[in-house]
C-alpha cells in the first residue's frame, strides 16, 4: 500500500458579496486535500477561518506536518486522536472517508452504518445590510421554506421586522455571529418573538454564554462559535437549546458524528451548518444532517460557480452527493 497526498488552494468567486457582522468577502478560498492509494482517489475540502486563528498558510503547514503519518496509512480514528479539531483535520478526515468509500466500493453512508441519505430542506442565507436592502433580499427569496438572516448590530429589531414582512411564509433563522450584548439581548429577543423567529444563532460572544442561563429565552438559541468538539457540550447544556455542528469546526465527519450523538443525549437540537465553500465541503455534511432539526448547507448557492459535478439543489431541497463528487 502506497498512499500519496496532494493539496491545492482554490478560489471561488462569491456571487456579489457575503456580509456578516465581522465583515464582507467576495471570494471563498478553500484548501483541497487529495489522497491516492491503490489506484483510488479520495478528496476533502476545508475553509480556513480567521475567527479561529486559521489561514490558508497555517492549514497548509499543518497538513504538510501531518504528511508522514497520513501517507503511512493512518485511519480516521487515529487522525481524530492525534490532531486538534479545526479546518486542517476536516480536509484530511473527509478525504479519508472518500478514499475508504472508493476502495471498498460502497457509499460512505454504509461505512457509517447509516441508511441511504435523503434530500433535505436547507436554509438560504441573506447577508447583513440595512433593513430596506435586507427586505428586498428576503422578498426575492420568500418562496424558500427556510431563510437564514445575518444580523449582529446594536439594533437589529428593524431588520427583523423588515425581513419578516417581506417573507411572511418562510421559517427564519437569525445568525448574530456574536454581535449582540447582554444589554440589548432582551430587546432583540422581544423582536424575534414578535416575528416568529425559529432559531437564533450565537447571540453573545463565545465565553459570555453564562448570561443565557440567567434570562428567559422566548426563542430557541443555538451555539455556534461556542461549540467546536464533543467535550464542549456539557458546559453548554442548559444555556443553549441547540448546537450548530460544522465540519470545519469539529475537524471532520468522524468527530461530528460523535458530537451529534452526544448533543442528542443532552437534549440539544441539532443544526448542521457550513462555511462558504463548494459542494465538496457540503457533501460529507449531508450524512451528518440526516435527521437534524435545522440544515444550513447552502454554501455552493452563494458562489458564482461551483465544482462539477456538484450537489443538486432544487427549490429549498439539497440532494445527497453522487459518488463522483464524494463518498
Residue range 187-214, pLDDT digits in tens: 999 999 999 999 999 999 999 999 999 9
pLDDT of 20 over the 90 cut: no
Q: What is the pTM of this model?
A: 0.95
Is 249 one of the annotated active-site residues of the chain?
A: no
Asked, as a colleague might, if the bond just before 309 is cis with ω within 30 of 0, I would say: yes
What pLDDT is attached to residue 16? 82
Task: Identify whether the C-beta of residue 3 lies closer than 8 Å to the C-beta of residue 70.
Answer: yes
pLDDT in tens, 117-161: 999 999 999 999 999 999 999 999 999 999 999 999 998 999 999
Give me the CATH number covering residue 18.
3.30.390.10
Task: Identify whether the C-beta of residue 118 lies closer than 8 Å to the C-beta of residue 145.
Answer: no
Mean pLDDT, the chain, whole residue set: 96
Instruction: Give the H/E segment covering residue 30.
Output: strand 23-37
The answer to whether position 111 is within a domain reads: no
Cα 226–213–243 angle (5° rounding)?
35
User: 23-32, 108-117, 179-188: which has the minimum mean pLDDT?
Assistant: 23-32
Residues 125 and 92 grouped into a single domain: no
DSSP 212: G
**Segments forming the whole domain that contains residue 10:** 3-106
Distance CA 235, CA 167 (A): 36
Residues 129 and 160 grouped into a single domain: yes
What pLDDT is attached to residue 18? 84
Cell reading at 204: 453573545
State the residue for C-alpha cell 440567567. 214
Distance CA 326, CA 65 (A): 25
Residues 210 and 260 grouped into a single domain: yes
Is 150 one of the annotated active-site residues of the chain?
A: yes
pLDDT in tens, 255-294: 999 999 999 999 999 999 999 999 999 999 999 999 999 9
The answer to whether position 313 is within a domain reads: yes
Catalytic residue among 102, 148, 229, 246: 246
Task: Identify whether the C-beta of residue 284 lies closer than 8 Å to the C-beta of residue 254.
Answer: no
pLDDT of 245 over the 90 cut: yes
Burial degree of 19 (CB within 10 A; 0-12, 13-18, 19+): middle
Residues 303 and 267 grouped into a single domain: yes
Distance CA 165, CA 163 (A): 5
Residues 32 and 161 grouped into a single domain: no
Cell reading at 213: 442561563
Instruction: Give the H/E segment covering residue 36.
Output: strand 23-37
Distance CA 237, CA 258 (A): 16
CA dihedral 310, 115, 76, 225 (to 10 degrees): 70
Residues 67 and 144 grouped into a single domain: no
What pLDDT is attached to residue 22? 72
Residues 186 and 264 grouped into a single domain: yes
Q: What is the number of structural domains in the chain?
A: 2
Q: Name every residue whose Cβ is closer than 8 Å to that of residue 235 and which is 6 or more positions away in sequence.
A: 209
Residues 85 and 233 grouped into a single domain: no
Q: Name every residue whose Cβ is closer than 8 Å to that of residue 78 and which is 6 or more positions away in sequence.
A: 69
The answer to whether position 323 is within a domain reads: no
The answer to whether position 114 is within a domain reads: no
pLDDT of 1 over the 80 cut: no
Average pLDDT over residues 38-44: 97
The answer to whether position 221 is within a domain reads: yes
The answer to whether position 36 is within a domain reads: yes
Residues 124 and 272 grouped into a single domain: yes
Average pLDDT over residues 244-255: 98
Distance CA 202, CA 222 (A): 6
Residue 89 — φ and ψ, nearest 5°? Answer: -65, -30
Residues 98 and 135 grouped into a single domain: no
Instruction: Give the H/E segment covering residue 171.
Output: strand 171-175
Instruction: Give the H/E segment covering residue 189.
Output: helix 185-194
Distance CA 302, CA 129 (A): 16
Distance CA 15, CA 216 (A): 39
Catalytic residue among 148, 150, 229, 249: 150
Amino acid at each position: 500500500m502506497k498512499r500519496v497526498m496532494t493539496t491545492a488552494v482554490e478560489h471561488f468567486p462569491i456571487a456579489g458579496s457575503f456580509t456578516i457582522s465581522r465583515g464582507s468577502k467576495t471570494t471563498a478560498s478553500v484548501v483541497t486535500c487529495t489522497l491516492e492509494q491503490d489506484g483510488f482517489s479520495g478528496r476533502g475540502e476545508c475553509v480556513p477561518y480567521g475567527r479561529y486563528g486559521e489561514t490558508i498558510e497555517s492549514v497548509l503547514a499543518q497538513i504538510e506536518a501531518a504528511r508522514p503519518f497520513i501517507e503511512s496509512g493512518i485511519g480516521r480514528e487515529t487522525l481524530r486522536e492525534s490532531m486538534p479539531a479545526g479546518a486542517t483535520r476536516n480536509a484530511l478526515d473527509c478525504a479519508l472517508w472518500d478514499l475508504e468509500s472508493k476502495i471498498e466500493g460502497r457509499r460512505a453512508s454504509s461505512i457509517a452504518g447509516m441508511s441511504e441519505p435523503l434530500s433535505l430542506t436547507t436554509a438560504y442565507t441573506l447577508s447583513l445590510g440595512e433593513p430596506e436592502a435586507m427586505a428586498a433580499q428576503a422578498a426575492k427569496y420568500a418562496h424558500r421554506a427556510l431563510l437564514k438572516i445575518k444580523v449582529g448590530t446594536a439594533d437589529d429589531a428593524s431588520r427583523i421586522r423588515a425581513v419578516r414582512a417581506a417573507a411572511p411564509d418562510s421559517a427564519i433563522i437569525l445568525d448574530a455571529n456574536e454581535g449582540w450584548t447582554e444589554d440589548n439581548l432582551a430587546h432583540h429577543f422581544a423582536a424575534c418573538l414578535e416575528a416568529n423567529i425559529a432559531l437564533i444563532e450565537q447571540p453573545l460572544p463565545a465565553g459570555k454564554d453564562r448570561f443565557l442561563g440567567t434570562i428567559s429565552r422566548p426563542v430557541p438559541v443555538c451555539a455556534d462559535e461556542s461549540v467546536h468538539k464533543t467535550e464542549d457540550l456539557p458546559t453548554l447544556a442548559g444555556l443553549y437549546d441547540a448546537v450548530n455542528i460544522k465540519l470545519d469546526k469539529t475537524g471532520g465527519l468522524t468527530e461530528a458524528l460523535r458530537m451529534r450523538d452526544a448533543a442528542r443525549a443532552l437534549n440539544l437540537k441539532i443544526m448542521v451548518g457550513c462555511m462558504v465553500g463548494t459542494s465538496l465541503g457540503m457533501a460529507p455534511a449531508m450524512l451528518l444532517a440526516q435527521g437534524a432539526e435545522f440544515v444550513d448547507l447552502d454554501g455552493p448557492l452563494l458562489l458564482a460557480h461551483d465544482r462539477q459535478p456538484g450537489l443538486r439543489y432544487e427549490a429549498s431541497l439539497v440532494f445527497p452527493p453522487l459518488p463522483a463528487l464524494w463518498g
